[in-house]
Structure 1
Amino acid sequence: MRLTLFSKLSSPLSQRGAMFGMDARIALIVAAILAAAGGMTMMSRLERGQTEQAEVMLESLRQGVLKHYTTVGINQLAPSVEDLFRSGVLDNPSLQNDPWGKPWSYEIISSNVMLEGTPITVHFAIIASAGKDGVFSSPGLASDFDYAQWETRGDDVGIKLSTRDIEMARKEEFDARGSLIIDKLEAVESAAYVEAQNACEGDAPPSWCEDEESKNYTQFNYYPKSSMDTAEGVIYYATDILGKAPLTSGDPTDMAEFLSQLGLPPAYAQDPWGRVLMYQSNATARTDPPFSASICFSRFGEDCFAPAY
């Protein structure tokens, strides 16, 4: 009987103990799941933070590439990310690698395009990181079509840029400067003629008014003389009458002085692409009026007036 009583008393206790043990195991499993979820959340936040950091770094690199282009390369993008630091354009060493400690991928190409009827070279670049897995999933850059279609894939983080807007602004600046130089040159030519006319129609006109190498003042060339004019028999008011030296076309110093005489900034002696001004004071090689002048810009050692073949 005691055994029976013991059996009846012990059975519920054993069941409660078993139930307690099961509850504890369930609680531990739930706790483990929650801990794992918390770890995943923390890892996800860390990865997201690294991605956001990469995006901020990429924007700094993009600005560095464009600054290098406008101040150092002028017509060329930096050959590598390292060149941004060697040139002093960027000075923060933490930008040299991505947030995962890997070097940035940097690809550049160039393409000749027409911008409002003017042939211009536009440069394209992609700067990217392979992300956490270190494997690039995004496509490469081989053409301007690739650039237009390019976007990141997988966990890659990247940015693309082109110099198109810079080139468009340069072209607008080039056109504005060219028009201004021509306008000033025409004004100087007209003012020189009026000056000679006033002298020659005065009470005591100089002898050159009627006979300067068998020509009168109405037959002079009133543009400032350029070294490019080799035509025989041309009388220049500025050089032959006033004694001013001819301007050496394509020489940065002479061209800067020439622009100063026109009342323009000497810096206009170079265009936005770094090419030097060349000036021809007798574009049609005439010996008598009407004379015409012309300007163009050339790279060092080139002649923009030479016929293109």
Structure 2
Amino acid sequence: MTFILLIEQVLNGLQFGVMLFLMAAGLTLVFGVMGLINLAHGSLYMVGAFAAAAVAGATGSFLLALAAALAAAAAAGALMELLVIRRLYNRDHLDQVLATFALILIFSEGTRWLFGSFPLYLDIPDALSGPVTLPGGIAYPAYRLAIIAIGLVIAAGLFWLIARTRLGIRIRAGESDREMIAALGVDISKLYTIVFALGAALAGLAGALVGAIQSVQVGMGEPVLILAFVVIVIGGIGSIKGALIGAILVGLTDTLGGIALPAVLRLVTDNATATSTGAALSSMLIYILMAGVLIWRPQGLFGAQA
């Protein structure tokens, strides 16, 4: 493995991790504050991607596409919370799983009815379409660097929101004792809607950003949702810092493992076997990482002690 290839894979891992953070941050807020298992969070990722692709195709503006993704996902999340999720807070987790799984089917079929079964494509903006030469002569796509920068800026904004604002105080209080803050006069229903819409908007933004480097299609959110659950288990439920660290760990493990394992296996076997076996084992690495973290810290890296 050359040094340039290693740096490129580290940057790919950071980009993948940042995208997972945008998904996992909203998911961990919803689960931490509301105690709700939302399997339909991946559908909001898909809504953002389709909204961005549709608006970009109609206007040619990538910025308008991102704004549309945020607005569409936030609106879909708020409507979901008002019409369905609000009735599930006092139900057990099995009811929540079944109801949100039904929402996945509704979103998937509704999206297929509106946009058809064929994938859509979202073009990378011209200003970010070329490579950037990094120190050491490494040429890396400018758009992927932009995704990393956007994710880190949003992470900083979320840390500020949770730690320094009145809304953040209410979110943290709602996570600790929702009955007490309701007794103190906080409209807990309105707070839940805001938190759910915020998490939905982050998922929609992730879908829009990734939609420019892969096709936008029905069902694209479910594989990412599985990885987002892995991230919040590793980082600790309810922790934004844990979501960020966990997402970066998962991203780096996935990308670096994909090139390190085949390289190691080539030392003891032929190229064809090393490639196929290494690909199979590398896909398991993130789950091995999750298992190792849970053995060491069952509550996750930054989760609160039970």
TM (norm. structure 2) is 0.21
Structure 1 or 2: more strand by fraction: 1
Structure 1 or 2: more helix by fraction: 2
